[in-house]
Amino acid sequence: MPARQVYLEGGGTGILLDVSDGDVVVVHWGSALPAPLPDASLLLPAVPHSMFDVPVRASLVPQASRGWRGRPGIRGARDDGGSYSPLLVVEAVDADTRRAVVRLSGDGLALAITLAIDEQGILQADAELTNTGDGVYRLDALEIALPVPDRATEILDYAGRWAKEKQEQRHGVRFGTWTREARHGRTGHDATGLLAVGTTGFGYGRGEVWGIHLGWSGDHEHRVERIGSGTTVVAAGELLHAGEIVLTAGESHRTPTLYAAHSTAGLDGVSARFHRHLRARPGHPHSPRPVVLNTWEAVYFRHDLDELSALAETAAELGVERFVLDDGWFLGRRRDTRGLGDWVVDPEVWPEGLGPLIERVEAHGMRFGLWVEPEMVNEDSDVVRQHPDWISGPAGRRSPEWRSQQVLDLVNPEAFAYVLARLDDLLTEYPGIAFLKWDQNRDQTELGSRGRSSTRAQTLAAYRLFDELRAGHPDVEIESCSSGGARVDLGILQRTDRVWASDTNDALERQFIQRGTHVLLPPELVGSHVGPPTAHTTGRTHDLSFRAITALIGHFGIEWDVRTASDADRAALAAAIAFYREHRALLHSGRLVHADDLDASVGVTGVVADDGSSAVFVWAVLAATPAEVPPPMTFPGLDRERVYRVRVGLAVDAHSAQDRRHPSWFPGPVELTGAALADIGLPMPALRPEHAIVFEVTALS
């Protein structure tokens, strides 16, 4: 290899760096390169008229001092105005085939960039900036950028709101900057999640795609930037607020980890890399994901031991394995405008504590879970009456309330110690609590502690709260619920066992929300529940089969007073739970795939075993199709050479079809090769909108 080059490779992905002129230039990020590697000095771009007299290339941390005319990777200055445009020069490189640390310095600053690529092909990058000069350096931004080639012409990211998260949007790469900022004090309902750029028309199974995600639960930014020279980069970093990072001599700041993936097999290829990466973590949940019943949409604040015991009994009869008591159990909490922060079991509602309910839940063979919201307070609470200064925000005034809530200032050591002690006491007193549904229900655009902006410090304090509580109670699983999907990122998932994708259980909305969430996260990390017949959030009514099938591709659960279900619906729900329990080993370990080129009114989602031996596929009709006959259903991801048996896995509602006669093969079984199933497909019944079918696929050869 030519001197001063670094090449990292893993999982079929490679990144080639050139550090020969003192900068960290990315020559290539994409498919692994065969030997011999190119000499980067032979790949310098032209120098046109009316341009810098030296080639300007894409650096991991772009520098204006080297002619970069886009956003610099480091933005800040000293109090006297110095170091506003530092020139950082490579001093040392420590690298092997999987990991590299590049150290640069200049103008009283030292920068260490760490890159690592794992067996799944996920590139992880972070940077640490140290003030090595005299006086204070005020940092405004520290971001990592990765170049993508000219054939990356299309951008995909996600927007959304409460109860409608992860909504896909696409547009072309143009000259200029496309920026997605999240200023919520948390990840945000509209957070992009995965920012992807790819070849024109890339889909789930086709095209070349480059995707990035910032593993951070606070304010952040993702962007695509194409500068005048024609170079395009994707970048991400924290959004730092005024005065948050003030580095005195010797102090350092480290960025959150940027995760990046490349695939020549479309979005599903990028997802496969992220899913394998997450599943390889030591802390990834490896036990079967239990069927959950959460009580919120069953009883709301109507807490009563006998009523909840009857609900638990019915749940157990259906096959539920985890029973979660939601909001309303603590002091004075009869409505959502008071009591938040007073983490004591309410003696008026629970005169004997939670013990009797936990005992009854466990007697039915289920584990017990509890809802908490430790980071928030109501102003109508004992804790705020006693400690009004524990509310986060600007000194001397209150920020606007959100759902009658304010943010507890976890940066304040006393407030942090208080809430940690209350949660620790709760889990110690009730060792039967095996799961916490950890909510966080509001944005806060001006987090502050003791007169200073504290958005970043609040995020780190929340992380520390999770970490310390888990250290003391390592067997308690935690769900990240943030008024639904407002804190879904790889930072929070270092500390939690699943996320709640959305507060809506409307199955039609969930079809899109879960699809967008699964691009980054595997199904076992995404809570997906069967709600009541008429959705709480939208008022839309769906048959049970559509609700249950939608919940199947995820961590299955129920949020419904199942005591009110008809005998027929109870039998159907029990069958869906049994199907989930039978297939969850596959659903939570296989490759997630989607069919491209179908009518937009239908969707195909599948989970295929890594060895190709079996699969589960869902055909969902999302809207009325303009065609008289629905398009054939194709089955991507199967071994083309093997023969498979396909049959309906769950019964379809009798009134769901609009055709007088089903296709000749339906409901199976039918035996075809993987190639025939992928290229020709199977004709489908003409289902009414908002209905779905599940298929079991088993290899015969």
The catalytic residues are 439, 503
Residue type at 581? R
Q: What does DSSP say about strands 691-699 and 614-621: parallel, antiparallel, or unpaired?
A: antiparallel
Burial class (CB in 10 A: 0-12, 13-18, 19+), 648: middle
Q: Determine contact, residues 151/43, Cβ cutoff 8 Å.
A: no
Q: Which one, of 612, 615, 651, lies nearest residue 633 by Cα?
A: 615
Tell me the two tokens of residue 7: 């090449």
**Cα 524 from Cα 553, distance rounded (Å):** 8
DSSP 240: P
3-state secondary structure of 113: strand
Where helices occur in 116-253 by DSSP H, the ranges are: none
Q: Determine contact, residues 478/435, Cβ cutoff 8 Å.
A: yes
Where helices occur in 473-543 by DSSP H, the ranges are: 507-518
**Cα 181 from Cα 219, distance rounded (Å):** 8
Tell me the two tokens of residue 530: 């069967």
C-alpha Rg value of the chain to the nearest Å: 27
**Cα 199 from Cα 184, distance rounded (Å):** 32
CB atoms within 10 A of CB 325: 24
**Cα 616 from Cα 202, distance rounded (Å):** 24
Buried b (16+ CB within 10 A) or exposed e, 226-236: bbebebbbbbb
Tell me the two tokens of residue 410: 């976890």
Burial class (CB in 10 A: 0-12, 13-18, 19+), 663: middle
Tell me the two tokens of residue 260: 């990046």
Task: Note the maximum CA span of the chain.
Answer: 82
Burial class (CB in 10 A: 0-12, 13-18, 19+), 424: middle
Tell me the two tokens of residue 88: 């950082």
